[in-house]
Structure 1
Amino acid sequence: MERRDIEIFLALAEELHFGRTAERLHVSQARVSQSVKSMERRIGAPLFDRTSRRVALTAIGRQLEADIRPAYERIRTGIERAVSAGRGVDGPLRIAFEAPALAELLSELLGTFRGRHRGCELRIHEAPFADPLSTLRTGDADVLVTLLPVSDPELTVGPTVHSERMVLAVATHHPLARADFVTLEDLGRDTVFRAARPAPAYWQPPSAPWHTPGGTPIARGRTFGTFQELLLAIAAGEGICPLAAHGAEYFSRPGVAYVPFRGTPDAEWALVWRTAAETGRIRAFADTARISTAPGQAPGPRSRRAAARG
């Protein structure tokens, strides 16, 4: 009996649905049906009762699952541990988050990695608000989850792990606070704050001074050492600031309103690390991220609301 047939049988025993099983394992429904029929021919008895309305394990199917699942899990765990050891994955991996809330929003990815690489200890901390990339340059973190774009010849930009819409943070008494949405042209109506790190290319031209797509000059505001200082300045009416949308959920506070952007690309968060410091642990984490965010995966971090860039 092939290992893939066992995987399909165990997945179908959990899902009790051919379509969901096929999606979970990234195979066709026909492949699932063929595998089950092949196992039933080998065993000589039905493993599932199938009707147009439901799928259920037969008594023999339930017994087979109970017998082989523990052994299969032991084999799978043993292989994963061997791969981790062979790749040099055991040991600590320090992950910094430019936006702390992303650690919660990416909990599924972090949990998946921990399950696959039990010998690797994840150490998570917040990156400096004013210069998140510095945590890589100083060696305080191995990997950074940061807002794109990142352009540095010494850094490798890995897979995108989360994307979300943009919002504009304004004071609640600001005229834009009553708008249903804003556009990039609205950035020319007030002082615009950003952190010290350059803002995303889709609203900040690479050369100064800043302009909207229509050519209106953008007044560049001061920078801040912490995200809370930025929110205090916005609430006081000193300026406005584009943020990733999860700010509305994770940083809701009196005096600040979050207005959705229309017509702008989503904010994208990706893994970044120093090319010269790449390790087996970093590669394993990036590989897990690529698999977790690949098209066709079950809803994961990319489908959830995300946190403000902060």
Structure 2
Amino acid sequence: MGLTNQASTRLERHELEAFLAVAEELHFRHATERLGLAQGRISHIIKTLELRFGVVLFERTSRRVTLTPAGQRLYDGLAPAHRQIQEAITQAVTVGKGITGTLRVGFSAQWASDIVLKTAKVFRRTYPDCAVELQEVQLGDTFGPLRSGVVDLQLTEFPVDEPDLVAGPVIFSEPRALLVPAGHPFARRVSVCVEDLARAPLIVMAGESPQYWLDNIYPRVTPEGRPIAHAAAAVYWAEVLSMVASGLGVSPASLRAAEYHSRPGIVFVPFSDAPPLEYGLMWRRDGYTARVRAFVETLCGIASTAAPPHGRRAGQRGDGRTETSQT
């Protein structure tokens, strides 16, 4: 039999997908499961195609399925075109949702940048028309880059209580530590407590961050009401390390900072009673674009595959509720 007219060579979408599934799986049951069709449906579609085209597309035995020369030629011609069509559809949907252009993502610490970098790599593969730019945000001006539009999204220490900003999901939390000079009495301890902050001058970060945010990291009084002296202020984290090593004071930090910033002259001593530092996503209330939403969803998906630190799941808000919208 030969191909007699143009109508007889028309290929419907379900026929195309069925043929490609069998050609790639070389197994009728596996192809049926892949497409979620009723049993026997794939065989019926392939038989219909072979009758219409007048050629045998697959050789079937009790042990295996193989493409005939005609089937192989058909597959070689259809598969690349089908991939191009699927890619074009994906790109069209991406453009339609606004996931193009440039997304600027900020982070406040290197351990926060680790998951941001991993997310950016996955995000670029999923949304190739959207570039991702990363930038470190200084602790002295936590919300400034977000408000000015320098970044569109940020992973940083919580809390966030600003009318123009949205506190999104908490991604992870880290135990707190006290950064002390190597010769300080605290350096010989297994741990310190929050009340100990009244016994040593505190080195803090200077800048424009709101007082409630600074107080969460650099408190002014202990839980029992004892004053905590703020002896010096630094603009950059590297200055804090140098000031502590020089014996000018001590400074609170994430315990995880020891993995990134250990150096001679300083010791990281864990707190025994301080709550963990929470790191979460935030964005402008008027800036929850399709790009931001897509990056948030991608990052939360990546974070959820890791063991949740301190019982906090990725995707929860700082108040324990699951993040579902921008408000």
1:229 aligned residue: 239
Q: Work out whether 1:264 is the aligned partner of 2:264.
A: no
SS in structure 2 at match of 1:242? strand
After superposition, the Cα gap between the structure-2 partners of 1:89 and 1:301, relative to the gap in structure 1 and judged at 3 Å, is farther
Distance 2:201 2:227 in 1: 10
Larger radius of gyration: 2
- Once residues 98 and 73 of structure 1 are traced to their aligned partners in structure 2, the CA distance between those partners, rounded to angstroms, is 40
Higher relative contact order (CA 8 A, sep 6+): 1
2: distance between equivalents of 1:108 and 1:240?
A: 33
Match of 1:185 among 195, 209, 219: 195
Note closer, same or farther for the CA distance 1:186–1:120 as it changes in structure 2 (3 Å cut): same
**Deviations 1:227-275 (Å, cap 9, x if unpaired)?**
1111111111111111112210111111111111223222111222222
Partner of 1:111 in structure 2?
121
- Among 230, 234, 252, which residue is 1:220 paired with? 230
Question: Which residue number in structure 2 is paired with residue 299 of structure 1?
Answer: 306
Choose the corresponding residue for 1:248, options 258, 262, 272: 258
1:166 to 176, 194, 203: 176
Q: How does 1:82-97 map to 2 (within 5 A)?
A: 82-97=92-107
Match of 1:274 among 281, 284, 289: 284
SS of match in other structure, 1:193: strand
Q: 1:41 to 1:231 in 2, by over 3 A?
A: same
Write the deviation string for residues 155-211 of structure 1: whole angstroms up to 9, x where unpaired: 112222332211111111111111111221111111122213344655666xxxx21
- CA separation in 1, counterparts of 2:271 and 2:80? 50
Look up the SS of the partner of 2:183 in the other structure.
coil
Q: Which residue of 2 aligns with 1:28?
A: none
Identical positions, percent: 33
Shift of 1:59: 8.0
- Structure 1 stretches of 5 or more lacking a match? 1-12, 14-34, 45-57, 61-66, 304-310
**Does 1:286 pair with 2:293?**
no
User: What residue is the counterpart of 2:185 in the other structure?
Assistant: 175
Q: For structure 2, which runs of at least 5 residues remain unmatched after alignment?
A: 1-24, 26-32, 44-62, 66-75, 311-327
Q: Secondary structure of 1:85's partner?
A: helix
- For the structure 1 residues 257 and 204, does the alpha-carbon distance in structure 2 shift closer, same or farther, using more than 3 Å as the test? closer
2:11 corresponding residue in structure 1: none
| Number of equivalent positions | 251
RMSD of the TM alignment (CA)?
3.9
Question: Cα distance 1:249–1:80, how it changes in 2: closer, same or farther (>3 A)?
Answer: farther
Pair 281,172 (structure 1): closer, same or farther in 2 beyond 3 Å: same
2:282 alignment partner, SS class: strand
